[in-house]
Amino acid sequence: MGFTHEPSNSEKIEWYTPPNIFNKLNFTFNLDVCSAGEGKDHVPARSRYTKEDDGLIQPWHGTVWCNPPYGKYTAKWLRLMAKHNDGIALVFARTGTKWWHEVVPTTSVVCFISGRLRFINGNDGRMGSSAGSDSVLLAWGGVATEVVLASKIGLCAKVIV
């Protein structure tokens, strides 16, 4: 399954959400479903599922944070977020993909983050160079919607279908 953000040619690196995202969101989540593990990332969450727990098969509760593995499993995680309908996901803004057109209409808010993110290298804890694509926050449910809108993290729009 892996928790990489677009694999490189020669090595596998897990990339973690930069802390400035959580500073702007100013919110503690009930659950991080794709956690690197306690003390390894910057996600403010009361509980967490790691790769070993496999958040895809565990029960989700409360307002969820989901920065899923990027690549072929992104859609699977986002479908679960849509079903749970209470949380925020951070993904690349892949507006031309099938999953985008399937999942985004189920969200409450889409927020295109200003500037390219610099994810944290899970091997050494250092900030990497700019991501290879723009990022977006997807929000489901009232609490998540208000958190994202209040963050002023980028261009946010309520989704009307």
Q: How confident is the model at residue 128 (pLDDT cuts 50, 70, 90)?
A: low
In this prediction, residue 70 carries a pLDDT of 81
The pTM of the whole model exceeds 0.85: yes
CA angle 143, 147, 153 (to 5 degrees): 155
- Mean pLDDT for the stretch of residues 153-160: 95
Ordered domains of the chain (ranges, CATH): 15-158 (3.40.50)
pLDDT tens string 62-119: 999 999 988 888 999 999 999 999 999 999 999 999 999 999 999 999 999 988 887 8
In this prediction, residue 48 carries a pLDDT of 96
pLDDT tens string 134-149: 899 999 999 999 999 9
- Mean pLDDT for the stretch of residues 52-59: 96
- Long-range Cβ pairs for the range 149-153 (8 Å, 24+): 149/109, 149/111, 150/26, 151/24, 151/25, 151/26, 151/111, 152/24, 153/21, 153/24, 153/25, 153/111, 153/113, 153/114
